[in-house]
Amino acid sequence: MSCPFVREQPIAEGARVIRRVFRIQRILRDRQDPLAQRDSVLIERYRFSREGIIYITTLLDPYVKSSTRRSRALTTAQTVCIALRFFASGTFLYAVGDAENIGKSAVCRAIRKVYLALKQFLGVFVVFPSHVRPQVVKQGFFAIAGFPNVIGAIDCTHIAIKAPPGPNEGDFVNRKGVHSINVQVMCSHILTSLRWCVTPCATSPMWKPNGQDQCMTQESSESQAFLHYTGAYDGILLGDRGYACRRYFLTPFPDPNPGPQTRYNAALARTRACIEMTFGQLKERFQCLKGLRVAPDRACDIIVACAVLHNIATIRLERAPVVEVQPVDDLQPVHLDQPSGRAARDRIVQNNFAY
């Protein structure tokens, strides 16, 4: 029976015991330590696990470490996590600053430090023909659809940017009417990028309605080695109809006949699908690549940094994002096939698909 002189409602002792047993212990985390979270939270925010972030922090520490601890300077881990959050989300700098409890200017400086540091490792993590022996790469490609002697797949993708000021603004408009940077990528069978060619400036116009990929190949310094191919790696590249067929660079038949040529085209499409998967994983892992609101030269540095991070994530077997199906870009065939390219294509059809 409750006492009439006490206004508080009585609490049963049993209920109090149950509350005490099921009470969730509060955990006060250090805001200065971005790694004081579960792995699932870190992957969602930064696209890397705790071990992956520690690896990147150790790798970049000599390049991004603050020279002083005055004015509560950011630690290397904080600087790396700020940049990774921007790469992963692609949001505005002030939003990243609000999430990390720092100012917008500090976010801008941290991101710049990190992408310039990652740029130094382009030749370490983006290597042609691969980090493994060429024979392993060929076997990996052959296991996909039975296409022989393939050492890489190549294609181009456009990274949208904001319209740059100045007289060269029109040179960045692609054939879809969007300001973008044309990026040519070569990848392996495990979706690691092997070569990157970024075209940021007016010397390589983007407006190439029919043969934009072919022109990228002719203008990129990386592709010049293949234009004078001497068989150093004894392998071939696969491309789509936006490229001309060469001895080292095979493309589909524009109008295949039923039988061997159709089987050749189907095997080539399945084999080079890895480059489309690479683009999909790259843009899903780093959402900033779906639209960069920076100047073209800085956009190119960010693209290169994301390429290095993508290879690090792939090599370390980090969790891969779910890739959305990309629409097929209908390209008109480029009728510049070389006789040596047609002969190499016919030879592969005869030896591997004439059954």
Question: Residues near 167 by Cβ (< 8 Å), separated by ≥ 6?
Answer: none
pLDDT digits (tens, 9 = 90+) for 300-349: 999 999 999 999 999 999 998 887 656 655 556 555 788 888 999 999 99
What pLDDT is stored for residue 338 in this prediction? 86
Kind plus residue range of the DSSP H or E element containing 159: strand 150-160
| β-pair partners for 157 | 183
Per-residue model confidence (pLDDT) at position 27: 59
- pTM confidence score: 0.81
Cα separation, 182 vs 299, whole angstroms: 11
pLDDT at 204 over 50: no
Question: What are 145-186's pLDDT values in tens digits?
Answer: 999 999 989 998 999 999 998 888 888 888 888 999 999 999
* Statement: residue 76 has pLDDT above 90: yes
Using alpha carbons, select from 107, 85, 118 the residue that is nearest to residue 311.
118
Q: Is 212:127 a contact under the CB 8 Å cutoff?
A: no
Amino acid residing at 307: A
Confidence of residue 222 (pLDDT cuts 50, 70, 90): very low
Assign 225 a pLDDT band (cuts: 50, 70, 90): very low
Give bridge partners of residue 237 from the DSSP assignment.
152, 249
Helix/strand/coil (H/E/C) assignment for every residue in 12-65: CHHHHHHHHHCCCCCCCCCCCCCCCCCHHHHHHHHCCCHHHHHHHHHHHHHHHC
CA distance 247 to 344: 6
Mention every residue, 6+ apart, whose C-beta is less than 8 A from residue 52. 312, 313, 316, 318
Alpha-carbon distance of 108 to 53, in angstroms, equals 20
Contacts of 53 (CB under 8 A, 6+ apart): 34, 35, 42, 46, 77, 80, 81, 84
Is residue 263 pLDDT above 60, yes or no? Answer: yes
Ordered by start, the domain boundaries in the chain are: 39-120, 123-352
Q: Hey, is 315 helix, strand or coil?
A: helix
Sheet with 150-160: list strands edge to edge: 193-199, 180-187, 150-160, 236-238, 249-250
The amino acid at residue 59 is: L
- Average pLDDT, rounded, for the chain: 82
